[in-house]
Structure 1
Amino acid sequence: MSQGCIKCGGTNAQEKEVSMTGTGLSKMFDVQHNQFVVVYCENCGYSEFYNKNSSSGANILDLFFGG
């Protein structure tokens, strides 16, 4: 990995998958078809969302740390 979190320099991060509603009918019926991977710094809590469906196969933690 590279330098660490862009906010605090921390080098420990975790990933979590989340789903969210969109707008319009999907929001009204609570259809959660938008899937993301959230990477967050364990030290300061800074988070970045990555679209799970458009991941290019790169290591998301490397993207978070600027790799």
Structure 2
Amino acid sequence: MQHRNYECPKCHNRTYQVDQMQATGGLFTKLFNIQNKRFTTVTCERCTYTEFYKTKTSTITNIFDFFTN
């Protein structure tokens, strides 16, 4: 995901960092610590305001995560 024209909505800065974040979904995934929700984050380098963009996950990735917990 590219944000070439990204501008922070709070401070209007144009420098940022892109990273990934994983989270659990419902009760089953919390109990077994399966992080089946994935997001791309864009963080402003000046004020650290962060936006999250949902990223698609694959079934194979979720199965691998289940067995490598």
TM-score normalised over the length of structure 2? 0.69
Q: Which runs of 5 or more structure 1 residues have no equivalent in the other structure?
A: 55-67
- Please give the alpha-carbon distance, in whole angstroms, between the structure 1 residues aligned to 2:6 and 2:18: 18
Counterpart residue number, 1:26: 29
When the two chains are superposed, the root-mean-square deviation of aligned CA atoms in Å is 1.8
- Please give the alpha-carbon distance, in whole angstroms, between the structure 2 residues aligned to 1:3 and 1:20: 24
Cα deviation code 1:19-49 (max 9, x no counterpart): 1011211011110011110111010011111
Cα shift at 1:52: 1.1
Given that 1:36 and 1:50 are in contact with CA atoms closer than 8 Å, whether structure 2 keeps it comes out as yes
Matched to 2:34, the amino acid is V
Q: 11, 15, 21: which is aligned to 1:12?
A: 15
TM-score normalised over the length of structure 1? 0.71
Matched to 1:23, the amino acid is G
Q: Percent identity over the alignment?
A: 33
Q: Which runs of 5 or more structure 2 residues have no equivalent in the other structure?
A: 58-69
Task: Report the CA distance shift for 1:18/1:2 in structure 2 as closer, same or farther (over 3 A).
Answer: closer
Q: Secondary structure at the match of 1:4?
A: coil
Q: Which has the higher contact order (CA 8 A, sep 6+)?
A: 1
Cα shift at 1:4: 2.1
Higher CA-based Rg = 2
